[in-house]
């Protein structure tokens, strides 16, 4: 990093830390916190898809597992009121375990087949939460979750504390995934992505490496789920439908798979569309007496974005150097 870049980054951090506390409305901070949660999700999925090259279309399942961990263990549901900070770890750990559970049967699968199985897992998990009415409140979910507290002060309904927690988690996530990427494990993921057979000949236990990618990726999603549930003070199955998985994958594709900062940018851009542009589009349209529900056009919009990206920037807006090369048509090497 050059000195200018470092200064810019420092300035950005200062703004992110100070502005929401003094200059922004609660609604704005709430949107920022939600966007932040999706940054964590995108960074976590990037470990699985971007680093290890395993297409996971059911990533929202781990988000749900994290959220329901908080929903069930910090609410009147069972009268359990475990502390938020402990549940952050529990949610992350549980999601990681389920990552292993999903990973184990899918190890022999590649590409489309893997995507289909993970998609199935993503469908099953919210279904299970919906049908285990006794424990999960069924379709209504669980409401009135505990407010987290920090040294005795309750978070309450204000968005600001959640925002800061999210910011801290993002910082740790960036640090973690950067370290992972440059590590022995990260190299083995890159090796598997490029040539699994050669990777095995390097002494890489590909089973273990893939499982660790699934599991580490899932753990970020679990942590994000705990924060999300606490912030909403509610969990319900409909929050974790397939479209959430699609949204997160879209963030990666838009930003540039594999590239940590590209993924962050992609995730912020789509959150902007999701949380700001679309809701306001509705307002503007109804003011003009045009009765179109732009919210219903989410999928249309993602589809259009994805098609546009595929056509004009197949490696994303901010491509990872390696992945960009991998996606070049000329790079397809025929098997002799």
Residues lying near another protein in the complex (CB under 8 A): 176, 179-180, 182-188, 190-191, 194-195, 197-206, 212, 216, 322-323, 325-326, 331, 333, 335-336
Instruction: Compute the distance between CA of residue 274 and CA of residue 39 in angstroms, rounded to an integer.
Output: 13
Give the burial string for 162-183 (b: 16+ CB within 10 Å, else e).
bbbbbbebbeebbebbeebbee
Contact 149, 84 (CB under 8 A): yes
Instruction: Name which of 121 and 220 has its Cβ closer to another protein.
Output: 220
Instruction: Name which of 195 and 238 has its Cβ closer to another protein.
Output: 195
Shortest separation between residue 315's beta carbon and another protein, angstroms: 12
Instruction: Name which of 91 and 237 has its Cβ closer to another protein.
Output: 91
Instruction: Compute the distance between CA of residue 41 and CA of residue 122 in angstroms, rounded to an integer.
Output: 14
Instruction: Compute the distance between CA of residue 37 and CA of residue 69 in angstroms, rounded to an integer.
Output: 16
Instruction: Name which of 142 and 199 has its Cβ closer to another protein.
Output: 199
Instruction: Compute the distance between CA of residue 170 and CA of residue 35 in angstroms, rounded to an integer.
Output: 11
Shortest separation between residue 20's beta carbon and another protein, angstroms: 29
Instruction: Name which of 111 and 295 has its Cβ closer to another protein.
Output: 111
Instruction: Name which of 119 and 223 has its Cβ closer to another protein.
Output: 223
Instruction: Report helix, strand or coil for 2.
Output: coil
Instruction: Compute the distance between CA of residue 165 and CA of residue 254 in angstroms, rounded to an integer.
Output: 26
End-to-end CA gap in the chain: 42
Q: Find the angle CA(301)-CA(59)-CA(267) to the nearest 5 degrees.
A: 45
Instruction: Name which of 17 and 182 has its Cβ closer to another protein.
Output: 182
Shortest separation between residue 310's beta carbon and another protein, angstroms: 20
**Alpha-helical segments (H) within the chain:** 3-22, 26-46, 60-73, 84-106, 111-131, 133-136, 160-181, 184-194, 196-201, 206-232, 242-255, 260-271, 278-287, 298-312, 321-327
Shortest separation between residue 188's beta carbon and another protein, angstroms: 6
Shortest separation between residue 303's beta carbon and another protein, angstroms: 29
Contact 56, 296 (CB under 8 A): no
Instruction: Name which of 98 and 129 has its Cβ closer to another protein.
Output: 98
Shortest separation between residue 202's beta carbon and another protein, angstroms: 5
Shortest separation between residue 14's beta carbon and another protein, angstroms: 25
Shortest separation between residue 150's beta carbon and another protein, angstroms: 24
């Amino acid at each position: 990093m050059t000195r200018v870049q470092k200064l810019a980054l420092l300035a950005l951090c200062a703004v992110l830390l100070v502005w929401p506390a003094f200059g922004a409305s609660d609604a704005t901070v709430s949107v920022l916190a939600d966007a932040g949660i999706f940054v964590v999700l995108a960074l976590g999925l990037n470990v699985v898809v971007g680093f290890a090259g395993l297409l996971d279309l059911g990533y929202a399942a781990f988000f749900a597992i994290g959220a329901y961990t908080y929903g069930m263990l910090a609410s009147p549901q069972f009268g359990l009121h475990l502390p938020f900070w402990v549940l952050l770890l529990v949610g992350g750990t549980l999601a990681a375990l389920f990552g292993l559970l999903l990973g184990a049967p899918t190890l022999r699968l590649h590409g489309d087949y893997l995507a289909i199985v993970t998609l199935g897992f993503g469908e099953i998990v919210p279904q299970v939460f919906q049908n285990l009415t006794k424990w999960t409140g069924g379709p209504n979910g669980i409401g009135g979750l505990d407010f987290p507290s920090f040294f005795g002060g309750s978070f309450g309904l204000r968005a600001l504390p959640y925002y800061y927690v999210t910011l801290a988690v993002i910082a740790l996530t960036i640090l973690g995934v950067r370290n992972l990427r440059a590590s022995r494990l990260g190299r083995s993921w890159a090796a598997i992505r490029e040539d699994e057979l050669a990777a095995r000949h390097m002494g890489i236990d590909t089973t273990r490496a893939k499982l660790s990618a699934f599991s580490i990726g899932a753990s970020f999603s679990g942590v994000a789920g705990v924060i999300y549930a606490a912030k909403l003070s509610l969990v319900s199955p409909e929050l974790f439908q397939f479209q959430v998985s699609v949204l997160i994958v879209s963030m990666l594709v838009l930003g540039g798979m594999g590239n940590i900062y590209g993924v962050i940018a992609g995730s912020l851009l789509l959150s902007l569309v999701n949380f700001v542009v679309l809701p306001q589009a509705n307002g503007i349209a109804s003011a003009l007496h045009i009765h179109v529900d732009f919210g219903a056009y989410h999928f249309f919009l993602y589809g259009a974005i994805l098609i546009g990206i595929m056509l004009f920037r197949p490696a994303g807006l901010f491509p990872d150097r390696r992945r960009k090369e991998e996606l070049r048509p000329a790079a397809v090497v025929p098997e002799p």
